[in-house]
Structure formats: C-alpha cells, structure tokens
C-alpha cells in the first residue's frame, strides 16, 4: 500500500516536474518566437514604409512620354507638352483601329 502510494506519488511528481519543465520550455520558446516575430514585423514595416513611399512616389509622379522623355507628371509646366504627345499618339492609334 505504501509502495503503491509512493509509486503514484512519484509518478505524479515526475509528471508535474516534467510538465512544469515543459511549460517553461513552451513559454520560453513561444515568447522567443513572439519576440522574433514582432521584431521581424517591425523591421519589415519600417523598411516597407520607407521603401514603398519612395517607390510609389517615383512611380506615380514620373512618367515616360512616347517621345522618350521622362517627366514629372506633377509639374504642369513639364508635363503639358508631353501630354500633348501622348494624346496625339492615343488619337492616332484610336483612328487606326
Ligand atoms: Zn513628349
């Protein structure tokens, strides 16, 4: 009886010891992964935030005209004559259709 109780006790203790150890390992690993994930996301967001803003700015304002000139579509003085070029080409291709 004493041996049986002792056995159960030992088994339970072993289980608890293993479980607490496992819980610590899980928490540690999960926390480490969460931190890694958070850091990685923050890094990506920071990089993307900088890169995308510049990229989209360049893409949205700079246009390449049919005459071969790259102009800033946000500057009316620069884009006016090239808009005429593009419109002329579009009109030509439109009548050809
Ligand atoms: Zn042009």
Report pLDDT for 67.
93
User: What are the pLDDT digits (tens) for 13-29?
Assistant: 888 888 888 877 777 77
Residue 57 CA to ligand 1 center (angstroms) comes to 21
Residues 36-50 as b/e (b if ≥16 CB within 10 A, e otherwise) read eeeeeeeeeeeeeee
Domain total of the chain: 2
Which residues constitute the domain of residue 57? 1-62
Residue 90 CA to ligand 1 center (angstroms) comes to 13
User: What are the pLDDT digits (tens) for 50-68?
Assistant: 665 555 555 567 888 999 9
The reply to whether 10 and 28 lie within a common domain is: yes
The reply to whether 32 and 76 lie within a common domain is: no
d(CA 2, CA 7): 8
Report pLDDT for 25.
77
Residue 60 CA to ligand 1 center (angstroms) comes to 17
Residue 97 CA to ligand 1 center (angstroms) comes to 23
The reply to whether 30 and 77 lie within a common domain is: no
Written as one string, the DSSP assignment of 33-88 is HHHHHHHHHHHHHHHHHHHHHHHHHHHHHEEE-TTS-EEETT-HHHHHHHHHHHHH
User: What are the pLDDT digits (tens) for 81-91?
Assistant: 999 998 888 88
The reply to whether 21 and 9 lie within a common domain is: yes
């Amino acid at each position: 009886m004493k041996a049986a109780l002792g056995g159960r006790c030992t088994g339970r203790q072993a289980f608890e010891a293993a479980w607490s150890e496992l819980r610590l390992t899980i928490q540690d690993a999960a926390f480490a992964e969460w931190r890694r994930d958070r850091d990685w996301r923050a890094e990506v967001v920071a990089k993307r935030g900088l890169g995308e803003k510049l990229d989209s700015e360049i893409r949205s304002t700079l246009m390449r005209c049919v005459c071969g000139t790259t102009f800033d579509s946000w500057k009316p003085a620069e884009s006016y004559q090239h808009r005429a070029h593009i419109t002329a080409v579009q009109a030509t291709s439109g009548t050809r259709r």
